[in-house]
Amino acid sequence: MIDVTIKKSFGSFNLDARFESHGDVTALYGVSGAGKTSIVNAIAGLSRPDAGHITVGDAALYDSERPIFQPPERRGIGYVFQEDRLFPHMTVRRNLLYGSRRAGGHSEGLDLETVITLLGIDHLLDRLPHRLSGGEKQRVAIGRAVLSRPRLLLMDEPLANLDTARRDEILPFLQKTCSDLAVPIVYVSHAIDEITRLADTLVVLDKGKTLAVGPVSEITARLDLGPLVDRRDAGTILDGKIAAHDSTYQLTTVSFQGGLLLIPTIDGAVGDHLRLRIQARDIAIATTTPDNISTLNCLGGTITQVGEPRQAHQDIQIDVGIPILARVTRRSAMELGLEPGREITALIKSVAVERAAMP
Amino acid sequence: MLTPLEIEIISLSLRVAIWAVLFGLPLAIAAAWVLARTRFPGKALVDGALHLPLVVPPVIVGFTLLVLFGRQGAIGSVLHDWIGFSFAFDWKGAALASGVMAFPLMVRAIRLSIEAIDQRIETAARTLGATRLRVFATITLPLALPGILSGTVLAFARSLGEFGATITFVSNIPGETRTLPLAVFSLMQVPGADEAILRLVLVSIVIALAALVLSEALSRRVTARIRGAAQ
């Protein structure tokens, strides 16, 4: 459990953030300047807020009332920075082990062998950091933070300084780390695809304030959060389970709160959890139940909200059991009379697997 | 090859310079760290005071040392009465004078290399559970090593050449305070000692050169080891 309430003024910028999360991976999302890094720095003890409190699990790290301010070295907070910040005079092995001598540690953590295998860095152990590529450095930095056996792991846009190829190289490692490590993670990013792949709980920040806190699937389907729905790739996250495999047609049935979805067959056993993502522009809306169409996934639902028109398009929130977002043209919305309360059918043209099936 | 007198002069000079550097180094590292990493009122004044030996005439430094550390001096008398320790008119005084004169050079070189260290790396170490002291010992100190080395060599060379403050503070006593420069100066008062002077001049050059070459080799090895930091 993470409980953060922070007030701090930086001249003209005022940070006034408040959130609580029970998730394994909590994402802090917002444009640059929204206050994301200020929040993680306060959690790590690198800056002192003007007021508020920070609690991780049962440990009070900061409380302006009592008052408590634990120094960074006593907090047990692992921190993966935007830059790798490796120690240039130490080999990869010594870098990895630097934090691991912390007596006892604040969590079980993972041992050196596991981390080396997980991050694929066994061939780098005796090298100095300047002989590593950007992606390798960041993997070592992640391993170093994990090995300090923290009670919480902070990741401040760990992929922001890498090119797309390096980013795609690290994301799977990150995903494995997040799922293997029994330690909560706070992940800062302004890349929604990283968040939808990694996070359970989403905290949306804007101008130093928390706009919304909640499960990723719920928050991404909201229409009132400007920065999230303005994007071209706006869409909905669905957490579901594999319900059946169909070997004849090579299809897998996934059940989620809104019903069943058919997707091209994937690996995984029946009952495994996975995360799907449907782009808003991949959903068409029909006001009558269509027959004789090729679309496999048709979900009945009720329009709950109609977003502000944006150029030629308009976003529609549909409740199919859970809210999902569809993006249609303004003309269609007008001609079909799409309004809240209207019963419609959502035709889903494509579904992406965001997080592979796991038991 | 060398006469016994020459050997005595050289070994005295080396002893004075080595002790001057040995005692000065920890203080210089501490001063350099404070100047590089802390802010406090009056810092400019402290900084200036530390640099004074570089800019005032050496004879002034020697005279000040005499006033402070002489037998009757404010500090010297206390040291003498309490623990029977005295700088006056022996090689320890020469080492003190050399150390004081070389101190700013050492502080300068070390301070520059501490300032060149990326503090974000030190911050990362603290999030990994390292106390300020451990950060200093495992991150700051090793990364400042090139500056510490060059500062040490510079100070060593400066100590070997110290003249004005030494002769003012502890005079020119053969076998006690007559270091290389003082010996050359003394020989110049004697007619027909040109050859003896020339030999001491050569010895000075050889020692200074050896120190420079050694430090160059050492610092190349150290820098290669932490090349990542320099970039």
Write the ipTM: 0.81
Neighbours of B150 (CB within 10 A): 22
- Which residues in chain A have their CB less than 8 angstroms from residue B227's CB? 88, 128, 130
With contact defined as beta carbons under 8 Å apart, do B164 and B147 qualify? no
β-bridge mates for residue A206, sequence order: A209
> What is the distance between the alpha carbons of residues B1 and A285, in angstroms, rounded to a whole number?
104
Does residue A329 lie within any of the structural domains?
Answer: yes
pTM over 0.90: no
| A200 shares its domain with A278 | no
How buried is residue A96: exposed, middle or buried, by Cβ count under 10 Å (0-12/13-18/19+)?
buried
Q: Quick one: pLDDT at residue A144?
A: 93
| A215 shares its domain with A243 | no
Query: Which of A220, A243, A276 is where one domain is finished?
Result: A220
How buried is residue A331: exposed, middle or buried, by Cβ count under 10 Å (0-12/13-18/19+)?
exposed
| A180 shares its domain with A279 | no
* Domain containing residue A74: CATH number: 3.40.50.300
| A216 shares its domain with A301 | no
Does residue A226 lie within any of the structural domains?
Answer: no
| A161 shares its domain with A241 | no
Q: Quick one: pLDDT at residue B122?
A: 94
| A248 shares its domain with A136 | no
Does residue A193 lie within any of the structural domains?
Answer: yes
Chain B nearest CA to A105, separation (Å): 9
Mean per-residue pLDDT of chain B: 90
Q: One digit per residue, pLDDT tens: chain A, 359 residues?
A: 899 999 999 888 889 999 999 888 999 998 888 889 999 999 999 999 999 999 998 889 999 998 899 999 999 899 999 988 999 999 999 999 998 865 556 666 678 888 888 888 899 999 999 889 888 999 999 999 989 888 899 999 988 877 887 787 778 778 777 777 778 899 998 888 888 888 889 999 888 899 889 988 888 888 777 666 666 678 888 889 999 999 999 999 999 988 899 999 988 889 898 889 898 889 999 988 888 888 889 999 999 988 888 888 888 999 998 889 999 999 998 899 898 999 999 999 888 888 877 77
Query: Which of A179, A194, A220 is where one domain is finished?
Result: A220
Candidates B124, B130, B231; nearest CB to A81: B124
- Best of B119, B123, B128, B139 to disrupt the A interface by mutation (most A CBs within 10 Å)? B128
Report the sign of the C-alpha dihedral through residues A200, A206, A208, A211, in that order.
negative
Q: Quick one: pLDDT at residue B124?
A: 95
| A148 shares its domain with A247 | no
Contact yes or no for B143 and A88 at CB 8 A: yes
DSSP string of A280-327, one letter each residue = GGGEEEESS---S-S-SEEEEEEEEEEPPPBTTEEEEEEESSSEEEEE
Contact yes or no for A98 and B231 at CB 8 A: no
Q: A347: which residues sit within 8 A by CB, 6+ positions away?
A: A283, A284, A285, A286, A290, A293, A295, A297, A298
Residues 136-195 of A with CB under 8 A from B: 144-145, 148
Q: Quick one: pLDDT at residue A61?
A: 92
| A39 shares its domain with A64 | yes
pLDDT digits (tens, 9 = 90+) for A326-345: 999 999 988 998 989 999 99
| A11 shares its domain with A117 | yes
DSSP string of A2-65, one letter each residue = EEEEEEEEETTEEEEEEEEE-SSEEEEE-STTSSHHHHHHHHHTSS--SEEEEEETTEEEEETT
Does residue A228 lie within any of the structural domains?
Answer: no
Write out residues in chain B with pLDDT < 50, as ranges.
228-231
pLDDT digits (tens, 9 = 90+) for A96-151: 999 886 555 666 667 888 888 888 889 999 999 988 988 899 999 999 998 988 88
Q: Quick one: pLDDT at residue A168?
A: 79
| A177 shares its domain with A310 | no
| A216 shares its domain with A246 | no
Share of chain A above pLDDT 70, in %: 96
> What is the distance between the alpha carbons of residues B142 and B114, in angstroms, rounded to a whole number?
10
Contact yes or no for B226 and A77 at CB 8 A: no
A73 interface with B at CB cutoff 8 Å = yes
Residue the block writes with tokens 């050059």 = B205
Chain B nearest CA to A149, separation (Å): 9
pLDDT digits (tens, 9 = 90+) for B180-201: 999 999 999 999 889 999 999 9
Per the structure, the count of domains in chain A is 2
* Domain containing residue A347: CATH number: 2.40.50.100
Domain extent, residue A265, equals 235-358
With contact defined as beta carbons under 8 Å apart, do A196 and A289 qualify? no
Domains of chain B: 4-230 (1.10.3720.10)
Chain A residue with minimal CA distance to B129? Answer: A73
| A161 shares its domain with A36 | yes
Does residue A79 lie within any of the structural domains?
Answer: yes
Does residue A165 lie within any of the structural domains?
Answer: yes
